[in-house]
Amino acid sequence: MDTCIPKYLKAKDQGRLLEKVRQSARILASCTLCPRQCGADRTHEEMGVCSTGEKAVVASFAPHFGEEPQLVGVNGSGTLFFSHCNLKCIFCQNYEISVQGQGQAATAGQIASIMLYLQTLNCHNINLVTPSHVVPQILEAVDIAAASGLTIPLVYNCSGYESLETLGLLKDVIDIYLPDFKFWEPGISEMCCQANDYPEIARKAIREMYDQVGDLKVDKDGIACSGLLVRHLVLPENLAGTYEILKFLKEKISAQTHVNIMSQYRPMGEAGRIKSLARPVTPEEVRKARQMARDLGLKIVQ
């Protein structure tokens, strides 16, 4: 089935992957990889918003069975968690990784070895978690791994706060985009992650992702080969703007958009200092959010 041939293999054969490696590496000298556009010289270990220098930091890697069914299958999704983050939501459930930066610095060769190791465990994909600030390192690792036999799809598992320029570098490399769409209102995103431009950025980014990969496609076993799958975390008191986000996905992206309405919000990190975020989301709030998705005719992933 053609859709199950990873995009990066063709890009590698045509020499385009190596060119993307070179282009992205140049950005690190005055980093504009993400919408923060902080301009840090990461080649000399200057730390910008993402708190990451020239090397990526890897927090963990393993087959993961808690992801969406289309990614997990029988053998799990090969998750590769990168430390630090360009968004840093105050309620992040991986706060020790995203904000405190727990993990080990890794070369591109070491990251490639991790990818190949996960493939030997028969994982269905390589799931790149919090990858936005380490795209150059990822591209170099994919180039190395592809030369050594990597043949499974790449999943770009991100916050939705993405630069269109960086997404352009990922075109014909990433098979499955797995973005969050977290907030609809600028004031809420400013409160939660000091990024009042998040809603506008996420809308443009998800549009670009869809244009690159289209609707989610699965093989005969129901395992995702390519396409877009959007995550939306339900927040207390409808702080996320759930209906507006789901309506946008239907009307501006695709009526066939696959959406995971996520129910696991609870106060983590620094969320407790904001009254409206200081309690878990209720079952009724989650039920209403899922009903909104059903009423709009979106494809609900559970």
Quick: pLDDT tens for 99-158: 888 999 999 999 999 999 999 999 999 999 999 999 999 999 999 999 999 999 999 999
The pLDDT assigned to 1 comes to: 41
CA distances from 197 to 38, 49, 160, 194 (A): 15, 15, 11, 9
Structure-model confidence comparison of residues 213 and 302, the more confident one: 213
Question: What span, in angstroms and rounded, lies between the C-alpha atoms of 252 and 272?
Answer: 34
The whole-chain average pLDDT of the chain stands at 96
Instruction: Collapse the DSSP code of 147 into the 3-class scheme (helix H, G, I; strand E, B; otherwise coil) and give the result.
Output: helix
Number of domains in the chain: 1
Segment 203-229 mean pLDDT: 97
Quick: pLDDT tens for 3-44: 589 999 999 999 999 999 999 999 999 999 999 999 999 999
CA distances from 94 to 48, 66, 224, 280, 296 (A): 20, 14, 25, 16, 31
Tokens 């465990």 -> residue: 121
Range of the domain at 169: 2-300
Q: Which residues contact 70 (CB under 8 A, 6 or more apart)?
A: 216, 218, 222, 223, 224, 229, 258, 301
DSSP string, 18-57: HHHHHHHHHHGGG--SSTT-----GGGT---TT---SSEE
Strand partners, 262: 233
- Return the exposure string of 225-259: e unless at least 16 CB atoms fall within 10 Å of the residue's CB, then b: bbbbbbbbbbbbebbbbbbbbbebbbeebbeebbb
CATH number for the domain harbouring residue 81: 3.20.20.70
Quick: pLDDT tens for 56-74: 999 999 999 999 999 999 9
Quick: pLDDT tens for 175-200: 999 999 999 999 999 999 999 999 99
- pLDDT class for 302, splitting at 50, 70, 90? confident
Look up residue 150 and give its amino acid.
L
Segment 233-253 mean pLDDT: 97
CA distance from start to end of the chain: 25
